[in-house]
Structure 1
Amino acid sequence: MPIGLICAIPQELTHLSTLLLDPVPTRAAHTEFITGTLDGHDVVLAGSGMGKVNSALVSTVLADRFGCGAIVFSGVAGGLDPALAVGDVVIADRVIQHDAGLLEDDGLQTYQPGHVPFINPSDQLGYRVDQDLLARVVDRLADFTLAPLSGAAGGGHRPAAIRFGTVLSGDQYLHCDLTRERLHGEFGGLAVEMEGGAVAQVAESFGVPWLVIRALSDLAGHDSRFDFLAFVDEVAASSVAILRRLLPVLSPFAQRRPAG
């Protein structure tokens, strides 16, 4: 079974597409899916576009039409944890769709997507990475070091950190310090993005293991739009470097999916 690789924006997709061997493109819905090999592993690469609907659509095609045995979203995100810096990488151990919920008294009570509390309640909140896969990922990256961002991109001498934790997904581009602080405090989120929660929801529906790898291109505050434009190319390269490191771990999990 191939590994499905999804990116949201062109900068992310370019890094991976130039590395594929024997690429074969196929058009489906709004997306070009490219089958090929990456470092000797069978993969299907797709650019989803931004947002949860786009990523859910592409994840469904990867799982159903291409029979992918694992799905990975590799890209960029905004940082929520003030201890993190631009260029650091967050690998999700859980994803939560922070914008799904009950609006009441000018506040949002977040709930599991598709489970309204007074209709079909669920105690589950978010989706967790397969624990065996996560343990192997942690072990694989234990001695892996990322280079600092270049000086031109505002980097310093500190190597980029790799952290594991909660990633939040929502269909908004976060450009607000107050909201950043609220999301970090309420959910313990390390990063916020627009696709990972939908990828996890679809992958779990198909019984497919998944990963979300996010390099921080901005800190999700009032200067986020300017940080993103300055740093996106280099941090996207960092997430791709980690993805390539993890392919040998992902391949055995992809082969476990029953045919059909």
Structure 2
Amino acid sequence: MGFEKGEIPYTGKYSFEADPELATKAALAVSQFIMGSKVMQGRICTGDQFINSDEQKDTILSNFGGLCCDMESGAIAQVCYLSDVPFVIIRAISDKADHSASMDYDEFEPIAAERSASAVMYMLGIL
């Protein structure tokens, strides 16, 4: 018994769609607090590896067309899907897996946490 590349085991699916209303409200909330940063909406690729090379990144993005890669978002989406709970994922990206990060993680983390918390609180107010 095998699964195709990218197939989510025992679901027959290759991706989970965020709730459109939540995605719209998340984009609005994020735009209020992330001035000067790039805000994007789209697919997040999730796997069981830390992506830290151009080769890994290029393979994943060419096969699955995601905007970024992480190790958590797919699990969150799958649990929500199986529980019939609408969801949206908001990510703050610290690096492009290509050694071009403008700051290190220790510097990035408190900024991302503050902005993310502000965006989530704003979003809760408009739900």
Q: TM-score, normalised by structure 2?
A: 0.79
Give the share of equivalent positions with the same residue, in percent. 27
Unaligned runs of 5+ in 1: 1-100, 103-108, 116-121, 148-158, 251-260
The alignment status of 1:175 with 2:56, answered yes or no, reads no
Q: Would the alpha carbon gap of residues 236 and 113 (structure 1) be closer, same or farther in structure 2, given more than 3 Å must change? A: farther
**Structure 1 Cα separation of the partners of residues 88 and 50 of structure 2:** 21
* Contact preservation (8 Å) 2:29, 2:120: no
- Per the alignment, residue 32 of structure 2 pairs with 144
Q: Which position in structure 2 is the counterpart of 1:125?
A: 14
Identify, as 1 or 2, the structure richer in strand. 1
- Kindly name which structure, 1 or 2, has the bigger radius of gyration based on alpha carbons: 1
Displacement of 1:241 after TM fit? 2.1
Pairing of 1:27-106 with structure 2 (within 5 A) = 101-102=3-4
Q: Which residue of 2 aligns with 1:112?
A: 8
* Cross-structure match for 2:95: 218
- Distance in 2 between residues matched to 1:146 and 1:137, nearest whole Å: 12
Aligned residues: 124
Structure 2 residue ranges without an equivalent (≥5): none
- More helix per residue: 1 or 2? 2
Given that residues 30 and 119 in structure 2 are in contact (C-alpha distance below 8 angstroms), is that contact kept between their aligned partners in structure 1?
no
Residue aligning to 1:188 = 65
Over aligned residues, Cα RMSD in angstroms? 2.5
Q: 2:83 aligns with which of 191, 198, 206?
A: 206
Task: Work out whether 1:134 is the aligned partner of 2:30.
Answer: no
Q: TM-score, normalised by structure 1?
A: 0.42
- Counterpart contact for 2:45–2:74, Cα < 8 Å: yes
* Contact map agreement 1:218 1:231 (CA 8 A) in 2: no
